[in-house]
Chains A and B, each alone.
Chain A
Amino acid sequence: MKIYTVCGMGFGTSLMVKMTIDDILKEIGEKANVEAIDMGSAKGLSADLFVTSNDMKGSFPSVDAPVIYLNNMVDKAEIKEKVTCFFEA
């Protein structure tokens, strides 16, 4: 399982989302390799899931995996709800 968290530069919010997802995966007993990247690097990458901000919706490259768009990149409750939903699907 590979998850990419994506923001404009790859070491601000995407890192915070990565750390949050790492915590959540422990809580729900799932395993995945989570990596923070910048949007320019997302194109052409293969993964099981991408997680990014609602703000990126218009410009996010087309990828062959589900994309979670977050309203609030630092809200653990929203991230947990959406990531848990992905694992239950």
Chain B
Amino acid sequence: MLKSMLTKETVVVEDTCDTWQNAVLKAGELLKNTGAIEESYITAMAESVEKNGPYMVIAPGIALLHARPEDGVNEACMSLQVLKNGVSFGHKERDPVTLAFAFGAVDAKLHLQALQQLMELFNDEERLTKLKNCENVEEALVLLNE
């Protein structure tokens, strides 16, 4: 499931990103370029962080960005930015974010499978550390597909 969504088109490895707003824009751009979401979904993801605060930083160094299916999702999708030096989302304890995932969900069953695989990754400390420190997209994809 992750394998089909996290590809060389939707995963980037960068040194940093100047603001969380730009991290959200970039996440959205990666998904929009594949046709999986509409522009409106990017706006909705940004609004959601504005409105709810940085709670989307769900674990130390990890953000999970998303909005609602009705905000403009055409197909189940996911993107990942590996930001080696991190970006601040304004979270007291879990900043800086080095892994910014974004997803769009349509179908409950596929969505659950994707989240399940993400949970496995988040609880695999070794793989997670390697991913946070990976050098390029190829390395990231190998780790994501393990």
Contacts and interface: CB of A to CB of B under 8 A. Distances in A.
Contact of B55 (A8, A19, A74): A8
Interface residues of A, number: 19
Interface string A33-57: 0000000000000000000010110
Contacts of A71: 93
Contacts of B103: 12
A44 to B, nearest CB: 20
Interface residues of B, number: 26
Nearest to A11: B105
Contact of A55 (B55, B64, B66): B55
B105 A19 contact: no
Contact of A15 (B48, B53, B56, B112): B112
B123 A74 contact: yes
17 contacts: A8-B48, A8-B52, A9-B66, A11-B66, A11-B68, A13-B64, A19-B112, A53-B58, A55-B54, A55-B91, A71-B93, A72-B59, A72-B60, A73-B59, A74-B58, A74-B119, A74-B122
Interface of A: 7-9, 11-13, 15-16, 19-20, 53, 55-56, 71-76
Interface of B: 48, 52-56, 58-60, 62, 64, 66-68, 91, 93, 103, 105, 111-112, 115-116, 118-119, 122-123
